[in-house]
Amino acid sequence: MPRFVVIGANAAGMSAASVAKRRDPSLDVVVLEQGERISYSACGLPYWIGDEAKGPDALVSVTPEQARRERGLDLRTLTRATRVDPDARVVTTVTPQGREEAVPYDDLLLATGSEPHIPFALEALDGVFALRHIEDAEAIRTWLANERPRRAVIVGGGYVALEMTEALLDRGLEVTLVLRRRRVLGESFDPDMSDPLLEEVERRAGVLVGIAEGVLGEGGRVKAVRTQAGDVPADIVILATGVSARIDLAAQAGCALDHEAIRVDDRMRTSVPRVWAAGDCSTTWHRILQRPIFLPLALAANRQGRVVGENVTGGDARSPGVLATAVTRFFEWEVARTGATELEATVAGLRVASTTIEEVTAAGYMPKHGSMRLKIVAERGTGRLLGAQIVGTRGAGKRIDTLATAIHAGLTAQELENVDLAYAPPFSPVYDPVLIGARLAARQAAR
């Protein structure tokens, strides 16, 4: 019986394992997972910490029991993979009992995910957390419940930092963000689009601009974050400074790397025969930039896993690549992006025309209408849509899907302007903001 071994039982790994087993029930599918829980929503953790979402069980989409019984997977939790021998096609594992065990494979998927990127040497202090795994969220919740911290410091300004800011403000803490520079959401947004959000952050929380250099403690507990701009007192510290692909096994196995992640082709093959990679540990193809990027996002991971699941069972699936579409919420605010930013497109050598509009999200005479800023990046000359960014209030964020679809389809701004989008006073002005933006973008690109 041929065997498919998967290392990592979250989005990519479980998608691959489940698809492969469904397509070929005769396949022996072994899933190695170092943790205890599998298939949980890492994206849901901040909302659980903020007591908005239920958890931890509700965050889990498949239990180990279900994986084994309903999906027929040979799932081995609390089992670490420590070595890959691609010539012998064997993975060395350490069982929960600490015993070393060789697991032969015909195909191997590295779905080892990512780990928090810690920007400084970290002293072992209680009250300092990174948020990556469900166990991290549990530890943060326990700390909040038992230690009743008053002052939180969040290092970083990305999606997780903002979501944790909202969560901890909701829990009644004072929050200070430590940012490397006066900007949130990094390079995902052009500054003119992320600045309104930064201002909202500043209205609700403290913001200190300065490089974080370490944490300071007393009696084994954190008491401050040291930054180049001074120390910031803290009863709890969240390090939300991004993640890195977990590539140790891949590197040891001889897989070529790219952007500090595992290099894959569009079938999710690594450079080593019969070794596949998917999810946060691998690169992802950016459809507009036309190059691989490191994009640790859930939807891409799930899709890449499916592609592997098909390909190890005789299929010939291709990863469609991504537009790096993303959305998040910060209190009443919604921000979203897709495709290339103005800067990304320019750096990629494209001739860029960018257009920004401010519009209402419903008819102006409706009391609950929100407002939004929409930026459209198009190719000068052709008008081909390259990217879009949205910042606004209720109803703004998911409009990015319309733009993502148009960009995926290769539409020009002029063509998007002609799409028959839905109008009714509670939902949009007669010309949806997307149409107004498209019209101006078409003109701008034609100049």
Site residues for a copy of itself per CB under 8 A: 11, 41, 43-44, 47-48, 52-55, 58-59, 159, 287, 297-300, 302-303, 320-329, 334, 336, 338, 363-367, 395, 397-402, 404-406, 408-411, 415-416, 418-428, 430-432, 434
Would you say 127 or 242 has its CB closer to a copy of itself? 242
Residue with tokens 């996002």, as numbered in its chain: 297
Q: Which residues pair with 376 in a beta bridge?
A: 355, 388
Candidates 43, 78, 125, 216; catalytic one:
43
Crossing angle, helix 159-170 and helix 191-204, to 10 degrees?
Answer: 20
Q: How far is the CB of 158 from a copy of itself (least distance, A)?
A: 13
Rounded distance, CA 42 to CA 54, Å?
Answer: 13
Helix (H) or strand (E) holding 136: helix 134-147
Cβ distance to a copy of itself smaller for residue 12 or 253: 12
What DSSP designation does 9 have?
-
CB of 379 to a copy of itself, least distance (A): 17
H-run or E-run covering 282: none
Q: Provide, rounded to whole angstroms, the least separation between the CB of residue 345 and a copy of itself.
A: 16
Nearer to a copy of itself, 65 or 420 (CB): 420
3-state SS class at 323? coil
CA dihedral 271, 277, 281, 284 (to 10 degrees): 80
Task: Reply yes or no on whether 255 is catalytic.
Answer: no
- To a copy of itself, the closest distance from the beta carbon of 274 in angstroms equals 26
Distance of CA 309 to the CA centre of its chain: 21
- The residue (of 131 and 234) whose beta carbon lies closer to a copy of itself is 131
CB 156, min distance to a copy of itself, A = 17
* Token pair for 10: 């979250």
Kindly state the smallest distance separating residue 317's Cβ from a copy of itself, in Å.
10
Burial class of residue 71, CB neighbours in 10 A (0-12, 13-18, 19+): middle
Smallest distance, a copy of itself to C-beta of residue 125, A? 30
Q: How far apart are CA 349 and CA 329, in angstroms?
A: 32
Classify residue 194 by burial, with Cβ atoms within 10 Å: 0-12, 13-18, 19+: buried
Cβ closer to a copy of itself: 153 or 336?
Answer: 336
Q: Alpha-carbon dihedral of residues 177, 181, 186, 192, nearest 10 degrees?
A: 110
What does the alpha-carbon distance between residue 106 and residue 370 come to, in Å, rounded to a whole number? 54
What's the token pair of residue 209?
A: 């601009």
Instruction: Output the smallest distance, CB 80 to a copy of itself, in A.
Output: 26
Contacts of residue 437, defined as CB under 8 A and 6 or more positions apart, other chains included, come to 355, 357, 359, 374, 375, 376, 388
34: number of CA atoms within 13 Å, CB side? 13
Q: What is the dihedral of CA 205, 54, 392, 207, to 10 degrees?
A: 10
**Minimal distance, residue 297 CB to a copy of itself, in Å:** 7
d(CA 334, CA 391): 6
Closer to a copy of itself by Cβ: residue 129 or 333: 333
Q: Is the Cβ of residue 149 or residue 242 nearer to a copy of itself in the bound state?
A: 242
Quick one: CA torsion of 183, 187, 193, 199, rounded to 10 degrees?
A: -20
Phi, psi of 442 (to 5 degrees): -60, -45
Q: Which amino acid is at 345?
A: A
Placement of tokens 């549990």 in the chain = 138
Residue with smaller CB distance to a copy of itself, 225 or 400: 400
422 C-beta neighbours (distance < 10 Å), count: 8
Considering beta carbons, is residue 48 or 105 the nearer one to a copy of itself?
48
What would the two tokens of residue 118 be? 């810690």
Any idea which residues carry the catalytic annotation? 43
